């Protein structure tokens, strides 16, 4: 009961902070899993699970009306079950995505309920009732926080025993398969992230990064810094060419154009 209350409150509070403070990214797996791990007395597992799940869920972001799998619930419950069952990262990776997909459906239901507030919100706006609009907005936020609390509380309270029994009865061959899948899932997360960016004009940069890592054994931080410098050089070179073309065509250019090494 105490663990269920604790996990439920953590997820609800993290969602509240995320929306009240302008999306500070506190619902990302690296944060959620670390906090859950610290609260359940296993900070090391929380950090390891969070880092692994962050790679998996890196490409899952909400754009417009599209509702992705819920990373907050997936990371929170995946980490909690992994710590409670004592099975570590493999179980978290196996459980997080199905849990996130289920929470995605529940979030859509909450969005539908919140849409019923719109007519009332329009009436408050026409009446210039600012206090009423703020109260209505807070009510919608608290409703979603309550959803996260209830989902986590019920899952931990009634599902922990079942999950522990399920994990203990998994054959060793399947557990080995889960470990292999756990190693592949981060690649899937990166693929989802790269999918909207992978165009024929960008493929050379991807190959360059691969070559630097695979054949020159550069660390990820070194490749990242190299990429940042390269991006600045390319952007400012393109801007200089645009200025030259505009000048050749007799088009006026802004007087305050910055150069790369301007002080």
Each residue's pLDDT tens digit, 122-177: 999 999 999 999 999 898 899 889 989 988 898 888 775 665 565 566 677 766 66
Given 165, 180, 196, the domain boundary residue is 196
Q: Cα separations (Å) of 88 from 44, 53, 74, 94?
A: 10, 12, 15, 11
Is residue 31 domain-shared with residue 112, that is, in the same domain?
yes
| Whether 132 and 150 share a structural domain | yes
Query: Confidence class of residue 178 from pLDDT cuts 50, 70 and 90?
Result: low
Structural domain tally of the chain?
A: 2
The residue assigned the tokens 């710590």 is 83
Q: What is the pLDDT of residue 193?
A: 64
Comparing 21-35, 53-67, 91-105, 174-188, the range with the smallest average pLDDT is 174-188
Q: Is the model more confident about 238 or about 61? A: 238
Q: Kindly state whether residues 125 and 7 are assigned to the same domain.
A: yes
pLDDT at position 263 over 50:
no
Q: Do 149 and 241 reside in the same domain of the chain? A: no
Confidence check: pLDDT of 38 > 90: yes
Q: Is 24 within 8 Å of 36 (Cβ atoms)? A: no
The verdict on 37 and 146 lying in the same domain is yes
Contact 257, 243 (CB under 8 A): yes
**Mean pLDDT across 39-52:** 90
Q: Which domain holds residue 37?
A: 2-196
Q: Which residue has the higher pLDDT, 196 or 1?
A: 1
Judge if 179 and 63 occupy the same domain.
Answer: yes
* Residue 222 predicted with pLDDT over 80: yes
Q: What is the model's pLDDT at position 116?
A: 81
* pLDDT attached to residue 250: 61
**Statement to judge: residues 218 and 113 lie in one domain:** no
Residues 191 and 207 in one domain: no
Q: Which residue has the tokens 């670390």?
A: 34
Residues 165 and 237 in one domain: no
Q: Which range is least confidently modeled, 66-80, 93-107, 124-138, 182-196?
A: 182-196
**Residue 178 in tokens:** 């889960």
Last residue of a domain, one of 137, 167, 196: 196
Half-sphere exposure of residue 128: CA atoms within 13 angstroms, side-chain side: 0
Instruction: Give yes or no: residues 49 and 140 share one domain.
Output: yes
Residue 179 binned pLDDT confidence (cut-offs 50, 70, 90): low
Range ranked top by mean pLDDT from 83-92, 219-228, 232-241:
219-228
86 lies in the same domain as 132: yes
Q: Both 114 and 216 in a single domain?
A: no
Per-residue pLDDT at 54: 85
Give me the mean pLDDT over the 48-65 stretch: 73
What average pLDDT is seen over the chain? 78
Q: Which of 196, 215, 249 delimits the end of a domain? A: 196
pTM: 0.63
Q: How confident is the model at residue 213 (pLDDT cuts 50, 70, 90)?
A: confident
């Amino acid at each position: 009961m105490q663990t269920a209350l604790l996990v439920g409150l953590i997820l609800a509070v993290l969602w509240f902070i995320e929306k009240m403070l302008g999306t500070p990214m506190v619902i990302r797996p690296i944060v959620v899993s670390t906090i859950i791990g610290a609260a359940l007395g296993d900070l090391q597992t929380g950090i390891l699970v969070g880092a692994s799940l962050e790679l998996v869920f890196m490409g899952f972001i909400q754009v417009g009306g599209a509702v992705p799998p819920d990373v907050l619930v997936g990371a929170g419950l995946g980490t909690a079950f992994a710590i409670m069952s004592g099975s570590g990262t493999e179980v978290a990776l196996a459980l997080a995505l199905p849990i996130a997909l289920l929470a995605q459906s529940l979030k859509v239901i909450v969005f539908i309920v919140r849409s019923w507030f719109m007519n009332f919100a329009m009436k408050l706006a026409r009446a210039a009732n600012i206090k009423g609009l703020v109260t209505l907005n807070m009510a919608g936020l608290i409703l979603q926080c309550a959803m996260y609390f209830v989902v986590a509380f019920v899952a931990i309270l009634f599902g922990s025993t079942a999950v522990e029994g399920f994990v203990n009865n998994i054959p060793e061959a399947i557990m080995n398969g889960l470990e292999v899948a756990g190693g592949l899932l981060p690649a899937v997360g990166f693929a989802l992230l790269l999918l909207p960016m992978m165009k024929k004009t960008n493929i050379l940069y991807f190959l360059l990064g691969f070559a630097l890592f695979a054949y020159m054994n550069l660390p990820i931080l070194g490749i990242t810094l190299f990429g940042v410098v390269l991006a600045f050089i390319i952007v400012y070179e393109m801007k200089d060419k645009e200025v030259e073309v505009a000048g050749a065509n007799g088009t006026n250019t802004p007087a305050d154009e910055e150069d790369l090494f301007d002080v």
